[in-house]
Amino acid sequence: LKSVNESVENPFLYWDNNVIGSLNLLKIMNKFDCRTIVFSSSATIYSANSKKCITEDFTINPTNPYGHTKASVEYMLNDIFNISKDKWSVANLRYFNPIGAHKSGLIGENPLDKPNNLFPNICRVAQGIYEKLNIYGNDWETNDGTCIRDYIHVMDLADAHLSALRYLSNNKKQIIDINIGTGKGTSVLELVSRFCLVNNCKVPFVFCERRSGDISCVVADNNKAINTLNWVPGRSLDEMCEDGWRWQINNQNCYF
């Protein structure tokens, strides 16, 4: 589960699913001698705002329950690795903000309930499913007052998983933490503007109060991923917007 806002409202759900679920998985992996894992972690584990790109050695101090659950699984993996360093291979991939869809338009994101993430909401407003987009705060310490995030194409993220798995398979047993992002920050307003421009559509929006647990700026330093995994994010923000919109308009009835 991956919604900051929902985790604030229902931490029981997040601790049960994200932490207890991960513990159960790791116990079964250990039982059957399956001890290589690429863990989907998150940039939300980092401490707070920074005007610098975030490196993997930044302080771990999440500001919301979702981040707490991701950090907890990382701690769990470290403890498990430390008691059997000759058995486990672990890569904690700290995602920044994956968006977009497969270029074919056949595979994309379809939240079962109202989306909590920005990009699916942009797509649904552009399609007319929702009347307007809610932007949470226009008084953040950024150039246009809206939050800045590091958006990465979901297919670049998929490539990073394959690179991480190859790395773990070809090297000694270890645990490694790696940021997966582009190293470029984009504000909410900039993303909305770019989406409208490349897809020739409109996305009406209104400003709302800030959400609990949000922070103003989160951008990756991805040098470790580039140098260690031999991986480079190759898809642009325009491609993220185009591919995500292609999925949305080609799957108006969606798949459940």
Side-by-side strand order, sheet with 89-95: 36-42, 89-95, 175-180
Q: What is the pLDDT of residues 144-163, one digit of tens each?
A: 999 999 999 999 999 999 99
* Cβ count near 132 (within 10 Å): 11
Q: Bridge partners of 153?
A: 99
The per-residue pLDDT for 254 is 54
The per-residue pLDDT for 252 is 66
- Which residue do the tokens 């999440």 mark? 62
Active-site positions read 66
Angle at 209 between CA 204 and CA 214, to 5 degrees: 100
The per-residue pLDDT for 253 is 64
Q: What is the pLDDT of residues 78-107, one digit of tens each?
A: 999 999 999 999 999 999 999 999 999 999
The per-residue pLDDT for 256 is 40
Mean pLDDT of the residues in the chain = 93
The per-residue pLDDT for 47 is 80
In DSSP notation, the chain reads: ---HHHHHH-HHHHIIIIIIHHHHHHHHHHHTT--EEEEEEEGGGB-S--SSPBPTTS-B--SSHHHHHHHHHHHHHHHHHHH-TTT-EEEEEEE-EEE---TTSSS----SSS--SHHHHHHHHHHTSSS-EEEE-S-SSSSSSS-EE-EEEHHHHHHHHHHHHHHHHHS-S-EEEEEES-S--EEHHHHHHHHHHHHT----EEEEPPPTT--SEE-B--HHHHHHH-------HHHHHHHHHHHHHH-SS---
Task: Report if pTM > 0.85.
Answer: yes
Residues of the chain with pLDDT under 70: 48-51, 252-256
What is the Cα–Cα distance from 198 to 177, expressed in whole angstroms?
A: 35
Phi and psi at residue 185, to the nearest 5°: -95, 140
